[in-house]
């Protein structure tokens, strides 16, 4: 019954999306009354979709095996957290989560948006409804999560053990909120292009959505990177896997959009460019969804290979992106030009930021799609991996980091004052760091060396905009910007340090033997069997020390029965200056020796700390803007009284 109720709610929500599209298109400029109805429809659509999603969680929690999706992806003997999160650990469930976020975002924008004129808002809501309608159709016709299975099997097939991790509860929802939050920026841009109302008011309406989506994307990517780092047991934190790229591309576009929105909001400039980025950002979300959900990729995220689904998403993608670009082409000549600015100005720096981010985006997009295009065109099968991405995107990212030292310290419109003294601290410290790395680490590569120097120089440079300000009266948005830029610096130092200084030891050992890696001496003490809720494992006890104190690491080799698989659970010891990472491999039957792989990764933790700082900076900016808007409204109300 629950499954049928969920399916009915989904159909109703789809019908309401069609109604919203018709109403919003019909409203045109009618205003007042129509707007009220549209709001009610958008809210009902959000509530119904949420109901459907709750129904799916309910059937997973009860392990209702008469539902095909549950039978294929779940098992009664699974901890409840994975039953709950397992609802979106599969294709249909994750698409339902996607659509739920889309519908709720539509409802929120319908209810709370007050910056925009009603014509633009109703055109935007029409666009949002059109998006929702397509993805509802995809769910109902090609990915029905509530399909029944008759007769019901006695046991489910279980969830992929790699996904049985608390990370599954947070990583997909966070990323999806980010992906789909960008749909609002897309719809608002479409609305504004339709009514030709591209201006600062639109930028202010769009900004919280882009900022919110960007914060969540940042968190989702950071968490996903750490998850892959400890769960895969490969010691790496970024693999340039197409699925990782699928989340990176919307992030790059959203980062560029966030910066260009500031020019539009503050100075009324970069109108066409900002609209283009708003369309591109959500298009990248859709491309990402297509890449991940169509099953054309080799990845843990490719849940099932079903060609009809791939073509369905591709058709939606072509329709939406094509229509948006056509609208852009038709309208852009009539969009007013912004205020002029000098190349050496905040605007000029933001243009440079946007150009570099866009080039990196283009390179990642081409590298990710190239294997698909090459295979379609020539039948040749190939893959594009780290060598390509590191060689092309790496240097550009470093140039971008160098520009980050300068941009935030420039003034709007034109900067005629002496710029160099303001830049001095960052540049001097960066050059000092560069010189210092030469005797400390003579043999590291050029990119890690430059990364270290730029990252260290960027730390003071990113805080420089606070210099000379009354700190207590500095707007939160400025603090947010400095913190986010500091996060980039910190993450850059972590990445460069990891690739420059990591020590690896791959060997075999028997209990009682010692292995050296970096400054650590690791002793394998024992190996014994342990049992978890739905797995058994061999667990090694290792004692690691570097001079004083002993740390115990317990890496495991886990064996799951539903489905039958083994996974390596790495053990990680976090110290103030890095992480010791231990993996237990198989036992060699002939000699009785155990495979052991150890890494010492100096300052690798800075990568994720940096990611968290970037997200926190975004959050501060978001809170700061809300607080200002709130204060302004209260003042306005008081004045009325």
Partner 1 sequence: MNLRPKHQRLVLVSLAVLALGGAVLLAMWGLSDRAAYFVTPTDIAAGKAPHGQAIRLGGMVERGSLTREPDGVTIHFTVSDLKAETPVRYRGITPDLFKEGSGVVAEGRMEGGLFVADTILAKHDERYMPPQMAGTATPR
Q: Which residues would be at the binding site for partner 1 (CB under 8 A)? A: 72, 157, 160, 162, 233, 270, 272-273, 295-300, 302-305, 337-343, 351, 355, 358-359, 361-363, 366-367, 370-371, 374, 380-385, 387-388, 391-392, 396, 506-508, 563, 565-568, 583, 585-586, 588, 590-591, 593, 595, 597
Structure tokens at 374: 């090459």
DSSP string, 177-241: HHHHHHHHHHHHHHHHHHHT--SHHHHHHHHHHHHHHHHHHHHHHHHHHHHHHHHS-SS-S----
Residue 603 in contact with residue 577, Cβ under 8 Å? yes
Q: At what angle are helices 446-463 and 420-440 packed, to 10 degrees?
A: 140
| Interatomic CA distance for residues 92 and 59, integer angstroms | 14
| Interatomic CA distance for residues 497 and 599, integer angstroms | 13
Q: Smaller CB distance to partner 1: residue 29 or 340?
A: 340
Q: Smaller CB distance to partner 1: residue 281 or 361?
A: 361
CA distances from 396 to 54, 120, 365, 403, 468 (A): 44, 37, 15, 11, 31
| Interatomic CA distance for residues 14 and 545, integer angstroms | 60
Q: Tell me how far, at minimum, the Cβ of 313 lies from partner 1, in Å.
A: 16
Q: Smaller CB distance to partner 1: residue 312 or 479?
A: 312
In this structure, what is the dihedral angle of CA atoms 395, 396, 401, 403, given to the nearest 10 degrees?
Answer: 120
528 forms beta bridges with: 539
Q: Tell me how far, at minimum, the Cβ of 249 lies from partner 1, in Å.
A: 13
Q: Tell me how far, at minimum, the Cβ of 515 lies from partner 1, in Å.
A: 12
| Interatomic CA distance for residues 210 and 447, integer angstroms | 31
Q: Tell me how far, at minimum, the Cβ of 468 lies from partner 1, in Å.
A: 28
Q: Smaller CB distance to partner 1: residue 369 or 623?
A: 369
Q: Smaller CB distance to partner 1: residue 300 or 441?
A: 300
CA distances from 596 to 83, 129, 200, 226 (A): 33, 54, 59, 21
Q: Smaller CB distance to partner 1: residue 383 or 443?
A: 383
571 forms beta bridges with: 582
Q: Tell me how far, at minimum, the Cβ of 123 lies from partner 1, in Å.
A: 25
Q: Tell me how far, at minimum, the Cβ of 157 lies from partner 1, in Å.
A: 7
DSSP string, 101-158: HHHHHHHHHHHH--SS-HHHHHHHHHHHHHHHHHHHHHHHHH--TT-B-SSPPSS---
Q: Smaller CB distance to partner 1: residue 184 or 509?
A: 509
Q: Tell me how far, at minimum, the Cβ of 553 lies from partner 1, in Å.
A: 16
Q: Smaller CB distance to partner 1: residue 144 or 566?
A: 566
Q: Tell me how far, at minimum, the Cβ of 333 lies from partner 1, in Å.
A: 10
Q: Tell me how far, at minimum, the Cβ of 143 lies from partner 1, in Å.
A: 15
* Torsion angles phi and psi, residue 30, rounded to 5: -65, -30
Q: Smaller CB distance to partner 1: residue 68 or 615?
A: 68
């Amino acid at each position: 019954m629950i499954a049928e109720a969920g399916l009915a709610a989904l159909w109703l929500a789809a019908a309401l999306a069609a109604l919203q599209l018709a109403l919003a298109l019909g409203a045109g400029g009618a205003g007042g009354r129509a707007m009220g109805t549209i709001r009610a429809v958008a809210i009902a659509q959000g509530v119904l979709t949420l109901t459907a999603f709750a129904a799916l969680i309910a059937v997973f929690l009860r392990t209702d095996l008469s539902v095909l999706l549950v039978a294929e992806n779940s098992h009664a003997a699974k901890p409840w957290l994975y039953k709950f999160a397992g609802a979106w650990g599969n294709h249909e469930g994750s698409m339902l989560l996607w659509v739920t976020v889309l519908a709720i975002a539509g409802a929120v924008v319908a209810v709370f948006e007050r910056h925009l004129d009603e014509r633009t808002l109703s055109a935007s809501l029409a666009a949002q409804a059109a998006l929702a309608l397509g993805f509802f159709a995809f769910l109902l016709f090609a990915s029905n999560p509530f399909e029944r299975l008759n007769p019901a099997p006695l046991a489910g097939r279980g969830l992929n053990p790699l996904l049985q991790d608390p990370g599954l509860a947070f990583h997909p929802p966070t990323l999806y909120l980010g992906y789909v939050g960008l749909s609002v920026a897309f719809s608002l841009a479409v609305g504004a292009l339709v009514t030709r109302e591209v201006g600062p008011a639109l930028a202010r309406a769009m900004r919280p959505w882009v900022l919110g989506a960007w914060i969540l994307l940042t968190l989702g990517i950071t968490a996903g990177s750490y998850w892959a780092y400890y769960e895969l047991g490969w010691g790496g934190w970024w693999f340039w896997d197409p699925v990782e790229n699928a989340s990176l591309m919307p992030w790059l576009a959203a980062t560029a959009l966030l910066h260009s929105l500031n020019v539009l909001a503050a100075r009324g400039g970069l109108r066409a460019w900002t609209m283009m980025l708003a369309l591109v950002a959500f298009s990248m979300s859709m491309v990402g969804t297509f890449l991940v959900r169509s099953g054309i990729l080799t990845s843990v995220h490719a849940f099932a290979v079903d060609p009809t689904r791939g073509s369905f998403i591709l058709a939606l993608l072509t329709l939406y992106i094509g229509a948006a670009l056509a609208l852009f082409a038709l309208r852009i000549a009539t969009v007013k030009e912004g205020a002029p600015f000098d190349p050496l100005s905040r605007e000029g720096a933001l243009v440079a930021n946007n150009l570099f981010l866009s080039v990196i985006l283009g390179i990642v997009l081409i590298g990710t799609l190239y294997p698909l295009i090459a295979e379609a065109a020539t039948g040749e099968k190939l893959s594009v991996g780290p060598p390509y991405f590191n060689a092309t995107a790496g240097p550009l990212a470093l140039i971008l980091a160098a520009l980050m030292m300068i941009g935030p310290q420039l003034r709007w419109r034109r900067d005629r004052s002496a710029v160099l003294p303001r830049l001095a601290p960052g540049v001097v410290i960066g050059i000092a760091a560069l010189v210092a790395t030469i005797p400390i680490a003579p043999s590291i590569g050029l990119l890690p060396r430059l990364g270290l120097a730029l990252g260290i120089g960027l730390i003071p440079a990113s805080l420089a905009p606070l210099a000379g300000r009354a700190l207590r009266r500095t707007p939160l948005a400025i603090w947010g910007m400095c913190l986010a830029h500091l996060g980039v610096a910190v993450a850059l130092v972590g990445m460069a340090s990891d690739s420059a200084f990591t020590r690896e030891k791959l060997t075999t050992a028997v209990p009682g033997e010692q292995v050296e890696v970096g400054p650590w001496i690791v002793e394998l003490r024992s190996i014994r069997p342990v049992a978890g809720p739905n797995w058994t494992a061999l667990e090694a006890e290792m004692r690691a020390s570097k001079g004083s104190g002993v740390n115990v690491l317990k890496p495991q080799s886990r064996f799951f029965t539903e489905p039958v698989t083994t996974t390596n659970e790495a053990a990680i010891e976090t110290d103030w200056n890095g992480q010791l990472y231990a993996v237990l491999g198989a036992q060699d039957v002939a000699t009785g020796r155990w495979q052991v792989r150890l890494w010492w990764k100096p300052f690798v933790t800075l990568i994720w700390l940096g990611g968290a700082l970037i997200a926190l900076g975004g959050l501060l900016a978001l809170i700061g803007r809300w607080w200002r808007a709130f204060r302004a409204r209260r003042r306005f109300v008081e004045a009325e009284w």
